[in-house]
Amino acid sequence: MSTAKTASQGGQGTPPAGTAPRTAALKFGRLDAAMQDVKTAIQRAKDHLFSLQHPDGWWCGELEADPMLEADYIFLHVLLGTGDAGKMRRAMTEILRYQNEDGSWSLYPGGPGNISLAVKCYSAGKLMGMSQDDPVLAKAREWILSNGGVIECNTFTKIYLCALGQYDYDAVPAIPPEIVLFPRWFYFNIYEISSWSRAILVPLSIAYAKKPFKKIAPEQGIDELFVGGRENSNLKLRWDRKRKISWRNFFIFIDRMTHWFERVHIRPLRTIALKKAEKWMIERFEMSDGLGAIYPAMLNAIIALRCLGYSLDDPQMLRAIDEFERLGIDVPEGNEHYSEPTFRMQPCVSPVWDTAQAVFALGEAGVERNDPRMLKAVDWLLSKEVRHKGDWAVKNRKAQPGGWYFEFNNEFYPDVDDSGQVLLALNKVDNPRERYQYDVCQRAIDWIFSMQCRNGGWASFDKDNTKMIFQHVPFADHNAMLDPPTVDITGRILETLATYGYTRKDKRVEKAIKFIFSEQEPDGSWFGRWGVNYIYGTFLVLRGLEAMGVWNHEPQIQQAAEWIRSVQNADGGWGETCGSYDDPNTRGIGPSTPSQTAWAILGLLSAGDNRSDSVAKGIKWLLSHQLPSGGWDESMGSNVTRQALYTGTGFPRVFYLAYHLYRDYFALLALTNYEKAMERAE
């Protein structure tokens, strides 16, 4: 298989003609003396990572998120009248662990309170029998009321409250199931919104049409969270008073017309729409770990099935609930980080992603290309190749299937990012089934090229999913209606393509590079859509550009490297909080974490910096923070209140993640790349 020098192998690109070659990097005595420490740390990190490998060959670290998942878990089982009472109590314990001093709950550790999350957590407490006079809820109620009360929540929260009689269906944005009837050539069709929004909204539209209602005891209600009382609150959507002619006002007008049709029962296509929505949903249960294999879609699908009349012992319902419950993690009593047993939910699972990252990092760290553990991992990855057309094919009809998804099974939704990373991993192993692996890789590369967007970049699940008008739809307040091309994914794909022999002579590659340069921020950084945040985007772009032979003395690259150096913490590490999505002025600011320190080092190395104090201090930070186990810790707080720091992004400004293996395989990759850079400089 033809390969080119990758970023991790140190390709620096070709300088313009007539330019003197770079001199060898100067040695730092203190670092040269510590190179044995680097080698020792690498070996310990490799041993630790292998110790986490499943006997079947894969890796899968926990995905941790905010307590909205546990609050929704309680809501679902109260609505259905199902669930394990013990698990629900332990889920409430988990929720209370995350409450802030001011009574609120945050989307990420250390972040500001979030009104939708706070209302859900408060409601969960009431559903679990807590009194509104309980000091915990009293403090939460005070914060919620001071921040506008229930009417400030997002649409999804309000619809869930409607199902328990705590909000009015007539006051929430309409999500009529007729949206599934719009033809694919029509501007407003469901394939013009992001794949995850599609999977969430189709079952939710069924619930909206059927309007489920579960009467709860008065003491379980949340009327006290309405400022001035529920009866005095104006629950309806508010017009844009600043601009009378705006897309928001247009969609609010459509929304009110839809509600009027609902009230007078003018719904001639409702039966047809419900049948099509049901068919669409159930078709996507197949070859998947639940609808979309993501928590909110799976939860909504369970509600939708019940609304459609499926009994709790129906095979479809049993399967949907079982897949949903598998996302749960029970934390037993006696765990070192918890004072009592808890139960938490994951938003999804990440075995393909974690396995590809682990194999790539281990391969870079010098694990033999025919190591049986690596071969087992690669064979498992090969077994997860997508061979059926999914939603992506609606706008990409001619392409043949290929690539990989994120979870154990999610055949309808492969993504470009996972596919690129798996290809990088496969390149690290000499598989006895060489021809088969070659064919799989070629199919994936062809599919990735077919998914390139018009502006040269790559998005995650769909092609040219960029109609900004959908951001103004009233139910789009989850801030994730679109899946536009991003520089972080594009950077990874450039590194992947370079690994398989593609160069800047390919017009598609050159178009991608132009897209990346057009997206650079004035300070030299790049925005990170799928990781927190500018450190993530910048490191992936720099690796992609280096792999493609872009000269590292180009002003854009040196400016990016200087930005990375400028945001280094005094302790030698790097960190950035999820708050940079709300305030870009805080980009690169946050407590040092192993994953973000590794990203910064990898970015600097790709920019040709292997000799600055910044790199030296960053390496020392990683070495000094390695645990006796060989891994790293990425959390804050005491043992009892410990929370993982979130360096992964679900939806900017809405939902964030802590990938529990990021701290390990990215730190290993950074140390390995540093070791190679120092060896080349000798």
pLDDT one-digit tens code per residue, 215-268: 999 999 999 999 988 887 777 766 666 666 666 676 677 777 776 767 777 788
Residue partners of 594: CB distance under 8 A and separation at least 6: 573, 622, 625, 632, 633, 634, 662, 663, 664, 666, 667
**pLDDT at 642 exceeding the cut of 90:** no
For the whole model, what pTM was predicted? 0.92
Task: Give the residue from 532, 657, 660 showing the smallest Cα distance to 69.
Answer: 657
User: How high is the pLDDT of residue 33?
Assistant: 38
Amino acid (one-letter) located at 298: M
Active site residues: 417
User: CA–CA separation, 680 vs 682, rounded Å?
Assistant: 6
- Contact call for residues 278 and 205 (beta carbons, < 8 A): no
Strand partners, 288: 410
User: How high is the pLDDT of residue 241?
Assistant: 66
- Contact call for residues 306 and 206 (beta carbons, < 8 A): no
Residue pLDDT, tens place only, 154-195:
999 999 999 999 999 999 988 999 999 998 888 779 999 999
Please state, for a pLDDT cut of 70, what percent of the chain lies above it: 90
Domains observed in the chain: 7-13+28-63+347-466+483-637+645-681 (1.50.10.20), 66-345 (1.50.10.20)
What does the pLDDT average to over 405-417? 98
User: How high is the pLDDT of residue 6?
Assistant: 32
**pLDDT at 82 exceeding the cut of 80:** yes
User: CA–CA separation, 14 vs 545, rounded Å?
Assistant: 12
- CB atoms < 10 A from the CB of 623, how many? 16
User: How high is the pLDDT of residue 8?
Assistant: 34
Task: Give the residue from 660, 611, 596, 668 showing the smallest Cα distance to 364.
Answer: 668
Task: Give the residue from 14, 33, 22, 36 showing the smallest Cα distance to 671.
Answer: 36
Q: What is the mean pLDDT of the chain?
A: 91
- Contact call for residues 6 and 497 (beta carbons, < 8 A): no
**pLDDT at 10 exceeding the cut of 50:** no
Residue ranges of the alpha helices (H) in 147-269?
155-163, 195-210, 247-263
User: CA–CA separation, 94 vs 74, rounded Å?
Assistant: 12
User: CA–CA separation, 595 vs 665, rounded Å?
Assistant: 8
User: CA–CA separation, 324 vs 335, rounded Å?
Assistant: 24
